[in-house]
Structure formats: C-alpha cells, structure tokens
C-alpha cells in the first residue's frame, strides 16, 4: 500500500468530473486500499479519488469513533434526499486548516458498489450523510468552499496560496 499525494485547493484538477468505474478489479481494489491508508494517515473521515488525482467515481469513508469501519463507495449515486436540512461545520483534506458551516440534506439514501463489485443501498443521517454528500461533490468537481460566499472563498484561496508558497520556500 502507498500514501497518495492529496491535491490542495485551488488546484484546478479538483474541478474534474470523475468518470464511472467500468470494472471493479484489482486495480480499483488497490486504489481503495491506498486511498484508505491516505485518509487514515491524513487524518480524515472521507476521501474521493478526485482528491488524489484519479478521476474515477471512488470514495472511502470512515466516520466511526475508532476509525475501524471503512466504507467503500464505487459509482455512488444519491437516490433520495430529505427536505429537512442540517448545518455542519465541514473541513476537507484538500482545503487544510479551513472549516466552515455548510447546509446539506439531513438524511439521504444512496447506492454504490463495494470493493468486490456488489451493489448495496444505504440510508444515512448525521455525519455520514454530510460526508457522503461532501465526497460526491468532489466526484462532481465541487469543493465545499464553493458553498461559501465569494468573499470567503477568495480569502481562503489567498490564504492557501500563501501557505503553499511558504511551504515551497521551506522545502516542505
């Protein structure tokens, strides 16, 4: 297994729309393992393939307390969203050190393939519902900061560019 480099906002590759996985094979299972290792090491609770510059519809999520309940979503689709909304403070491995409130559906139902290519359907609420919606946005080329005002987005973009320049100077 290997840790994968995570793209940082405002990298334009984060806006690439991911293509469906045609076949769940050993290549995809290796991608899933590497993504899971990367997510846990970051540390985070979700990671979309888009964030590691692989533009296929693959997501790994683990919202458990102990970090031992990995969920794999291949070709995920939200099939239903509740009318009720919830506001969660979100963060993102591609937007380090930035957290802000985003409004999303309180409950969802989604279907996906697991790492063996078996289809499943699941209902989610709370953090899992937020995480699934957040990661599926990545697959559609959208980063959570795009829900924020233009002013906030520009401040974040400037702050992260400055941070990236400082890291380059320091040789990080």
Catalytic residues: 135
At residue 55's C-alpha, the angle toward residues 8 and 106, to 5°, is 75
Give the integer Cα–Cα distance in Å for 43 and 93: 8
Helices (H), the chain: 26-41, 126-139, 150-170
Q: Is 134 annotated as belonging to a binding site? A: yes
Cβ atoms of residues 77 and 112 within 8 Å = yes
The helix (run of H) or strand (run of E) holding residue 149 is none
The sign of the torsion formed by the CA atoms of 147, 81, 7, 63 equals positive
Q: Is 92 annotated as belonging to a binding site? A: yes
Alpha carbon of 129 to those of 24, 63, 82: distances in Å? 24, 10, 11
Alpha carbon of 62 to those of 45, 71, 150, 163: distances in Å? 5, 6, 31, 28
Q: Is 55 annotated as belonging to a binding site? A: no
Residue list, annotated binding site: 92, 134, 138
Residue list, annotated binding site for Fe cation: 92, 134, 138
């Amino acid at each position: 297994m290997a840790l994968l480099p995570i793209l940082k906002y405002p990298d334009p590759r984060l806006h690439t729309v991911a293509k469906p996985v045609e076949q769940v094979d050993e290549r995809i299972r290796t991608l899933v393992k590497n993504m899971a290792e990367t997510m846990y090491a970051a540390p985070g609770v979700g990671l979309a393939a888009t964030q590691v510059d692989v533009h296929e519809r693959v997501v790994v999520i683990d919202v458990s307390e102990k970090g031992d309940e990995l969920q794999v979503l291949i070709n995920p689709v939200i099939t239903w969203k509740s009318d009720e909304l919830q506001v969660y403070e979100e963060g993102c491995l591609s937007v380090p050190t930035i957290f802000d409130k985003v409004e999303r559906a309180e409950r969802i139902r989604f279907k996906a393939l697991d790492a063996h290519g078996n289809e499943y359907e699941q209902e989610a609420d709370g953090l899992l519902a937020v995480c699934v919606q957040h990661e599926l946005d990545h697959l559609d080329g959208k980063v959570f900061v795009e829900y924020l005002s233009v002013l906030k987005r520009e401040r974040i973009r400037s702050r992260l560019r400055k941070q990236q320049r400082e890291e380059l100077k320091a040789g990080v």
